[in-house]
Amino acid sequence: PDLGRTAGFGKIILFGEHSVVYGYHAIAAPIALSIRAQVTRQESGTELVIPGLVTSGNAHSAESAESAESADSDLPVRIAALIIERLGISASGMRIEVFPSLPRASGLGASAALAVAIIRGMANCFNIRLTDNEVNALAFECEQIVHGTPSGIDNTVATFGRPILFRKANGARSANFSAVTVPHPIPVIIGLTGVRSLTARTVSLVRTAWAKSPSRYDGIFEQIDGLALAGVGALERGDIAELGDLMNINHGLLNALQVSSPELETLVAIARRSGALGAKLTGGGGGGAMIAIAEPDRTVAVAGAMQLAGYTTHLTEIRAATEPPA
Ligand code: MEV
């Protein structure tokens, strides 16, 4: 089987997480971390095999008794069940084996990448022809299970695997997105807080705050929208100094939304102190991951400083199109 065709990409959001849920622009890019799935037919029954996750029939025995954790462990099972139903293959037995290189609940789009990988794996196995748009639409339905009101940005990047300027569907208008080009790859340092955070939770915190004073929060979202639009130009010119400034301001506004955390603040401070041009949290926040950009010759030093403080880092690049790692 062609494992390459069954990958879903992880992602970073460069600008516009949270405000994107309210219809404002955001920019996201795929990263070299992905999730792959291999689906094979078997006599009967469905088997879902994911390293580190107990899923065979008794998801509640997994890892932790905390309710958010248990719900999180159920998700792959529910995602697989929805895809099986939508693809009309409920009558078939299959074994779904998942190979993640992407940490879960880290703000890097693992749930969307998982959905895309399983959809493509099943389509491969059962010779179902799906366009990328069909894969994306089904992955969006899966994301709705994961957190009620996804913007659709994660599944779109997981499906198409290239940097995009994205805007959520609104009424009759379907989600729209366009490719963002970069003149040369831009290195990005990803810092992991090690604190798991479910996007559903921070999205709901922001929703509650917005509902109390919509105009105050819309004002913040509008400013973030302006940063995302300015970010397109900075990316297309390869202007990393400008990109860094925009990221720093975006992080300040995410702080205003109260979706940062002590660990994220520590990582952002370390990155800036060790020479990063820009640093911000990425994804849902509340834990999870942050990103930093630096001059190419400072990248390793920035990552090193984070590691010295005990954090895990990944190096990735914003590039025109990302091939899944071998
Ligand atoms: C999660 O990667 C990004 C959020 O904006 C949620 C969403 O867009 O659905 C926080």
Annotated catalytic residue: which of 74, 154, 218, 245?
A: 154
Q: Please tell me if the CB atom of residue 225 comes closer than 6 angstroms to any atom of ligand 1.
A: no
Assign a CATH topology to domain 186-318.
Alpha-Beta Plaits (3.30.70)
Select from 304, 196, 39 the least CA-distant residue to 47: 39
Pocket test for ligand 1, best of 199, 220, 280, 281 (most atoms within 8 A of CB): 199
Please indicate whether residue 65 or residue 260 has the higher confidence score (pLDDT): 260
The answer, yes or no, to whether any atom of ligand 1 lies below 6 A from the CB of 21, is yes
**Residue 176: band (very low, low, confident or very high) from pLDDT cuts 50, 70, 90:** very high
Distance 153 CA to ligand 1 centre (A): 7
Q: Please report, for the chain, the start and end positions of each structural domain, with discontinuous segments joined by +.
A: 3-179, 186-318
Indicate the CATH number of 3-179 among 3.20.20.140, 1.20.1740.10, 3.30.230.10, 3.40.50.300.
3.30.230.10
Strand partners, 282: 289
The per-residue pLDDT for 321 is: 66
- HSE, CB side, 13 Å, CA atoms: give it for residue 201: 18
* CA-to-CA separations, 210 to 203, 213, 217, 222, in angstroms, rounded: 10, 5, 6, 13
Chain segment 136-162, per-residue pLDDT in tens: 999 999 999 988 889 999 999 999 999
Confidence label for 64 from pLDDT (cuts 50, 70 and 90): very low
Residue range 199-218: mean pLDDT, rounded: 96
Which among 307, 305, 289, 295 has a CA at the least distance from the CA of 33?
289
Which of 18, 149, 170, 260 gets mutated to test ligand 1 (max ligand atoms within 8 A of its CB)? 18
Asked if residue 18 has its Cβ within 6 Å of ligand 1, the reply is yes
Instruction: Kindly tell me if the per-residue pLDDT of 59 is higher than 50.
Output: no
Q: What is the pLDDT of residue 265?
A: 98
User: Across the chain, what does the average pLDDT equal?
Assistant: 90
pTM of this prediction?
0.91
pLDDT confidence band for 106 (50 / 70 / 90): confident
The answer to whether residue 239 is catalytic is no
